[in-house]
Amino acid sequence: MIAVRNRTAIAGIGRTVTDRDPDVDPMAHLAQALTSACADAGLSRREIDGVIVNLAPEEGSMDKLPEMLGLPSVRWSFQSWFHGRLEPTCLATGVWAVLAGQADYVACISTSQTLADFKHGYETRGREKSREGGGPHLENPPSGLISVGGGAALAWRKYLTKYGGDPDALGAVAVTQREWAHRQPEAYFCGRPISQADYLASPYVVEPLRLLDHCVPGNAAFCLIVTTAERARDAPKPPVYVSGLQGSSSGREHFIFSRTGLGVGQQTDEPYVAPDMPVYAAAGISRDEVQVFGALDAFSPVVLFTLEEFGFCAEGEALDWVQDGRTAPGGVLPLNTCGGGLSDVESFGWGHTVDLVRQLRGEAGDAQVPGVKVAQYATPDRSSIILTAD
């Protein structure tokens, strides 16, 4: 593995406040996020010479966005299909561009899963579901399973059948993440905590998953500016180093809403022990050194699958592991401190990463975890990034 530890850094971050305006202009959110990130990094738009677009409206493609946002000097660009599992890969692509000298400052930009996407984009989702063998989330229209959450519900049911446990205990994930969002001014549910009773009162959408187990569509945009560590040290804010990267695993044994070995879809049903993940070796740390963790959370059980996939707890233990405030403020592993997809907005990992940068800078306000030096974002199919501070 090519050494990346501390060679590049995030010099600037920007995001917008989440709203749920059905007539949203995503480009306005993107422009605001970019403006904020440039100001945060002490840069003019002319100095941005690389662009990565993860999720954006058609007018925000890598071909059109630089012109619309007033970026006159872009000499390197890339665009990716959206998904929480691809956010680390997008950031990694920016890292490689900087290390290869293709660009000095790469703006990595994405919107959330906006209400406009839900309002106008169902035809696109339909095309996904018509893939041979079903859709990417185990959708199967001939059998009537058309909800994206259906695959997560199947995985969660298999988990409960295989390991036991009280399904109501899953409420600890939603309640805890709302507690974090309660402290985050930009989160949609800021100031609106929930209780376990609220969780149990929420209706089932795809049993055994309730409404509060589902991510929140909404409108927001995010930007992270990647550059060399040397340039980042000259920026107004302390650099946050990109210390470890790991792309998504693929194939029949990996499903984005499950854990390896669970036996969902085409997966093999077999005992699971988390392997030595390359992302930790690349960062020169052990898993036990991670102080704040961001996990893909399109649905509540995906958080549990990610914890087991990376070995924070053993196979079948995650449901018990997240009880009693373990991932809440003051807990042993603060998790999704931005509120995540469940209580901020479905940002496909971008909101998580912006928040991890703030945690490492000590800028997270009421949600700040004391003394953070190592933070990680990860997904059940092993995509991951580790960020560190001096």
For the chain, which domains are there? Answer: 8-118+217-232 (3.40.47.10)
Query: Cα 49–3–252 angle (5° rounding)?
Result: 90
3-state helix, strand, coil in the chain (%, to 5): 35, 15, 45
Residues with Cβ within 8 Å of 350's Cβ and at least 6 positions away in sequence, in order, are 15, 54, 87, 110, 112, 222, 224
- For residue 179, which of 164, 189, 169, 170 has the smallest C-alpha distance? 189
Residue ranges of alpha helices (H) inside the chain are 26-41, 65-68, 87-99, 115-120, 122-129, 149-163, 171-181, 196-201, 229-232, 278-283, 300-309, 318-321, 340-343, 350-361
Tell me, what's the pLDDT at 67? 87
pLDDT value of residue 124 = 45
Give pLDDT, residue 119. 54
Residues in CB range of 381: below 8 A, 6 or more apart: 85, 248, 249, 250, 254, 255, 256, 309
Closest CA to 136 of 269, 295, 256: 256
Parts of the chain with a pLDDT under 70 = 1-2, 56-60, 82-84, 114-136, 140-144
So what's the pLDDT on residue 250? 85
The DSSP element (H or E) to which 377 belongs, if any, is strand 374-378
Please work out, in degrees rounded to the nearest 5, the angle formed at the alpha carbon of residue 290 by the alpha carbons of 287 and 294: 110
Q: Where do the H-state alpha helices sit in 75-210?
A: 87-99, 115-120, 122-129, 149-163, 171-181, 196-201
The confidence score (pLDDT) of residue 145 equals 72
Cβ(6)–Cβ(239) below 8 Å:
no
- Helices 350-361 and 87-99: crossing angle in degrees, nearest 10, is 60
Residue count of the chain, please give it: 390
Task: Write down the residue that tokens 């996904």 correspond to.
Answer: 128
